[in-house]
Structure 1
Amino acid sequence: MDLVETIAELDSQPNLHAARLLVLISAFSDVQQQEALEGLTKLAKLDFLLRYPVMLERALSAKGRSTRDVQLKDYERLSVESQMVRYRFGPWDHRYREFLNILIGKGLVTVRTEGRKIVIALTENGRELALKLSANPEFQDYARRSELLKRHFNLKGTSLMNFIYETFPEVVSLRSNERIPT
């Protein structure tokens, strides 16, 4: 199996995406204080920045913030995974509901609606697993970058969406399934 096939196989593994999202949700949640991540739009935009650290670096620069803590690795700049594809609603994956359902089914998050907004909260089991994942060397970059996102991009979903569209106008102008230059 070649590298492209390996990456395609990894991308088709919903549990890996769900694990990354769990680490991200954890950074924006506190079980004791009943903090939760508010909105599927916010989740998708934050995950865009987490999944594509080259874009996180650009976003931090656009806000005049240090990019030092992104700790971008050479392979992240050059890998085929850093090539984003424009989906129906931008460069974010259309499978978020699937990934959330996996997390709900495993008892790791709860989801409730407040008006039209979806509120995603960790369960105690979710918090424990997120802590274990964050300590795992394979997920430490996600954990560190999720904390950066909490510190610098803890905005309302619409504000975050507007920031991304202003900072990355190329995500709006491309046709569906076109690669987004990084």
Structure 2
Amino acid sequence: MSDTTESCGCSRTTQQTAGTALNEGTISRRNALIAGVAGGTGAVALSACGEGGSSRGSGNNNSSAGGQGPSEPTDMGAAADVPAGKAAKLTAGKVTAIVSQPQEGTFKAFSSTCTHQGCQVNVQGGAKIVCPCHNSQFSLSDGAAQGGPAEKPLESYKVEVKNGRIWVG
């Protein structure tokens, strides 16, 4: 057997006896089987060295349901629909956002797209922002990840209250 190191840092072991037998032109069933197993093992080892390969998504989902937010200020509804200390998932046309009022008169707006793998978060009982895919939880006051696999906060959107209406964007 021979060990070689790939450019990505992985170590690969090859079966010399199988290669030698193939080079000499004498192929037994045993050597053919060994060559096949060694080749399959090498393919698996090399695939582990490839780029990408992470099961964690970047969460960069620029759909209208989250991501970059609305390009223009969007009327999301009445400020009275989001009581102090609570949050709501609001949709207006193609725009969906999580809007919270962590303190009386202070409104925050966040993307509804989880930063873990891009699932749509929900508001549970008006008091929790939770991703149904892997149970990540986020703060009502700043969108910070508070539990689960998500490590990054929800993207913040500009929010303003005018004449009792919530404008996001």
Same fold (TM over 0.5): no
TM-score by length of 1: 0.23
Bigger helix fraction = 1
Q: Which has the higher contact order (CA 8 A, sep 6+)?
A: 1
TM-score by length of 2: 0.24
